[in-house]
């Protein structure tokens, strides 16, 4: 990276104000700036990895040094422009979300994944913002990221003042709650820094209490190996038996700690159509999604973050949820018969990973 443009302090301040205005026009809710120093957060990451709490996410350990210093990732970086973009839709209803979680026939997909792949949405707009800056001041060094590189983006966003770290370890903001995506532009311009926000969690432990698998082991500490989001998305193998019942009907991710958080109840909603629900994922049933062929999965999840887990994990997750439905005292026998029949028909041709979970589902229903 090479920064060829010399700006006065007044010009830097004006550029900072202009950046905020242009970011808002592109759909970003907030823009803040921080430096590259991560301090004690780097040591906490190393300890988290040493404790094995990252589970099978080997890439986190492999690139630990890069995560600890943005200057190693992109040499010449002196500032990180951090942005947030809400994905909570105007029609989002938390009461309905809880009701769906209580209905064993429903297939619950995390809210963030029901629309277009956020990686593409944010990356394209970050590139556009960077090009606009280049047009305004001339050539400068930059690279854009959104959950796509070894970068401690939540910690950088916290330092930049986009919010504070909640006890569930997600970033929280008084106006936007926690249901937003993060993106970064690493630049070689010494732009003015923004201030950090204070922690406003207080004595509230709602997220810790509600977690189905007790993955939040202490305030501000998460064991990914217990988290349903990890188990259904990042975990490539069998879902541990001890967590299958707790998964309920969650087939991709888990929003419980966010649904219960007071700061999300009155958070501002997005107006972006990119995150609008696709293919009925906000009200689909287990049997509807189980009926999808691999071709259906690939086609309907084109342009979706869900596609990257692949069809086998998708079926694995569904099989667990269907087993939980069969074990539910709230489900009528005719509905259980349909689920049981669907599982039995799929078993002979199922891949080993899926077959094990189907067998568990069928046997667990009898226990």
Question: Could you report the per-residue pLDDT of 84-131, keeping only the tens digit for each?
Answer: 999 999 999 999 999 999 999 999 999 999 999 999 999 999 999 999
Question: 337-362: per-residue pLDDT in tens?
Answer: 999 999 999 999 999 999 999 999 99
Reported confidence tier of residue 184, pLDDT bands at 50, 70, 90: very high
- Give the residue from 332, 282, 340 showing the smallest Cα distance to 114: 282
Reported confidence tier of residue 1, pLDDT bands at 50, 70, 90: very low
The pLDDT assigned to 358 comes to 98
Q: What is the mean pLDDT of residues 306-334?
A: 97
The pLDDT assigned to 227 comes to 98
Q: Are strands 79-86 and 30-34 parallel, antiparallel or unpaired?
A: antiparallel
The pLDDT assigned to 304 comes to 96
Q: Structural domain boundaries of the chain?
A: 9-89+115-187, 206-268+276-364
Q: What is the mean pLDDT of residues 223-240?
A: 98
pTM: 0.94
The pLDDT assigned to 365 comes to 66
pLDDT above 60: residue 25: yes
Whether residue 238 contacts residue 59, with contact meaning beta carbons closer than 8 Å, is answered with no
Q: What is the mean pLDDT of residues 330-339?
A: 96
> What is the C-alpha radius of gyration for the chain, rounded to an integer number of angstroms?
22
Q: What one-character DSSP code corresponds to residue 176?
A: T
The three-state (H, E, C) secondary structure of 151-175, written as one string: CCHHHHHHHHCCCEECCCCCEEECC
Question: Which range, of 51-55, 61-65, 176-180, 275-279, averages the lowest pLDDT?
Answer: 61-65
Reported confidence tier of residue 8, pLDDT bands at 50, 70, 90: confident
Reported confidence tier of residue 4, pLDDT bands at 50, 70, 90: very low
The pLDDT assigned to 279 comes to 93
Question: 69-95: per-residue pLDDT in tens?
Answer: 999 999 999 999 999 999 999 999 999
| 188 vs 63, residue with greater confidence | 188
Collapsed DSSP state (helix, strand, coil) of residue 42: helix
Reported confidence tier of residue 2, pLDDT bands at 50, 70, 90: very low
The pLDDT assigned to 124 comes to 96
pLDDT above 50: residue 3: no
Q: Which residues are catalytic?
A: 147
Please give the Cα distance from 76 to 1 (Å, whole number).
Answer: 5
Average pLDDT, the chain: 94
Print burial letters for 316-355: b (CB count within 10 Å at least 16), e (below 16).
bbbbbbbbbbbbbeebeeebbeebbebbeebeeebeebbb
Give me the DSSP letters along 266-324: TPPPP--GGGS--TTTTT-BHHHHHT--HHHHHHHTTTSGGGGGHHHHHHHHHHHHHHH
């Amino acid at each position: 990276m090479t920064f060829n443009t010399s700006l006065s302090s007044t010009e830097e301040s004006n550029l900072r104000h202009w950046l905020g205005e242009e970011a808002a026009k592109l759909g970003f809710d907030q823009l803040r700036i921080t430096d590259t120093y991560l301090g004690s957060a780097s040591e906490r990451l190393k300890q988290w990895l040493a404790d094995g709490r990252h589970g099978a996410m080997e890439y986190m350990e492999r690139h630990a040094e890069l995560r600890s210093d943005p200057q190693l990732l992109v040499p010449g970086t002196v500032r990180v422009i951090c942005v947030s973009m809400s994905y909570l839709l105007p029609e989002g209803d938390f009461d309905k979300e809880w009701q769906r979680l209580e209905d064993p026939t429903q297939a619950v997909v995390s809210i963030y994944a029901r629309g277009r792949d956020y990686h593409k949405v944010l990356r394209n707009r970050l590139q556009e913002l960077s090009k606009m800056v280049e047009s305004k001041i001339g050539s400068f060094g930059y690279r854009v990221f959104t959950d796509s590189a070894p970068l401690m983006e939540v910690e950088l966003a916290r330092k930049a003042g986009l919010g504070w770290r909640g006890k569930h370890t997600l970033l929280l903001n008084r106006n936007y709650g926690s249901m937003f995506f993060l993106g970064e532009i690493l630049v070689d311009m010494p732009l003015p820094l923004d201030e950090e926000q204070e922690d406003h969690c207080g004595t509230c432990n709602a997220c810790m209490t509600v977690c189905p698998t007790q993955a939040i082991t202490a305030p501000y500490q998460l064991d990914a190996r217990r988290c349903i989001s990890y188990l259904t998305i990042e975990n490539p193998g069998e879902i541990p038996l001890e967590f299958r019942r707790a998964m309920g009907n969650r087939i991709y991710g888990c929003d419980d700690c966010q649904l219960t958080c007071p700061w999300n109840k009155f958070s501002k909603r997005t107006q972006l159509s990119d995150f609008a629900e696709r293919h009925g994922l906000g009200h689909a049933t287990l049997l509807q999604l189980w009926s999808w062929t691999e071709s259906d999965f690939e086609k309907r999840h084109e342009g979706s973050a869900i596609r990257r887990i692949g069809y086998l994990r998708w079926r694995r997750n569904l099989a667990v949820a269907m087993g939980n439905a069969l074990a539910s005292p709230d489900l009528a026998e005719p509905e259980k018969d349909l689920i049981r029949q669907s599982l039995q028909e799929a078993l002979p041709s199922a891949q080993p990973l899926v077959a094990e979970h189907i067998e568990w589902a069928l046997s667990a229903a009898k226990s």
